[in-house]
Amino acid sequence: MKKRDTYEAEINGRKVRVTVPENDESELFEAVREQLSPEAVASIVSHLQGARTNNQDVDRQVHWFTEELTKLLGGYEHQARLAEELGL
């Protein structure tokens, strides 16, 4: 059995060990599906596609998020069609 990662935190003045939560992307994207229409997601993707910063790590993360949102929409063709309907 794999040992879970922990970190030290202070709660009510006491130091305790807290388990690091696992990265569960499925919950994030389930929330996106529940809270945002496909049109809203297409708009977000359109605005993120050209985003650039002076930090390559941030750019990589934004690119990953954009790709994942595009997958939620069913791919680039569907995203492009929705963006065009929205006038983007």
Dihedral sign from CA coordinates of 77, 68, 61, 87: positive
Residue 1's pLDDT band, with cuts at 50, 70 and 90, is: low
In this predicted structure, what is the pLDDT of residue 21? 66
Give the start-to-end residue ranges of the domains of the chain: 25-85
Q: Which two tokens stand for residue 11?
A: 């709660």
Q: Which two tokens stand for residue 79?
A: 């995203």
Per-residue pLDDT of 18-76, as tens digits, reads 877 666 777 888 889 999 999 999 999 999 998 999 999 999 999 999 999 999 999 99
Q: Which two tokens stand for residue 88?
A: 């983007």
Residue owning tokens 């997601």: 41
Residue 16 pLDDT > 90, yes or no? no
pTM, full prediction: 0.71
Residue 2's pLDDT band, with cuts at 50, 70 and 90, is: low
